[in-house]
Amino acid sequence: MAKILTLTMNPALDLTLQLGQLELGQVNRSNAMLTHAAGKGLNVAQVLADLGHELTVAGFLGIDNQQAFEALFERRHFVDEFVRVPGETRSNIKM
């Protein structure tokens, strides 16, 4: 299969909060939180890897919260060419 490079210029950590139930006008607390590395380029890379291609992934990652991304790269056997920059990579919160 082909060797492919994906460029993810706007990676994100997706934080998904699970609620037992949502009560309007009340304080709602999550009972679980899932975190995973995301971004369009990384999502495409995962599909291409599932199809048998070898992937190199690149872009910019904040050094303060890079662990989830590094875990994904290791788990999926991606060659990591991301440039680390000061600060955090953005987060998306979903309920």
CATH of residue 35's domain is: 3.40.1190.30
Res 42 pLDDT > 90: yes
- The rounded percent of the chain whose pLDDT value lies above 70 is 100
Q: What is the pTM of this model?
A: 0.86
Q: What is the mean pLDDT of residues 50-60?
A: 98
Does the residue 26 lie in any domain?
A: no
Do 57 and 80 contact (CB within 8 A), yes or no?
yes
Give residue 1's pLDDT: 82
Does the residue 25 lie in any domain?
A: no
Does the residue 43 lie in any domain?
A: yes
- How far, in Å, CA of 81 to CA of 41, rounded? 13
Do 85 and 63 contact (CB within 8 A), yes or no?
yes
Does the residue 53 lie in any domain?
A: yes
- How far, in Å, CA of 18 to CA of 1, rounded? 38
- 35: domain range? 3-19+31-86+89-93
Does the residue 48 lie in any domain?
A: yes
Do 33 and 92 contact (CB within 8 A), yes or no?
no
* Number of domain units in the chain: 1
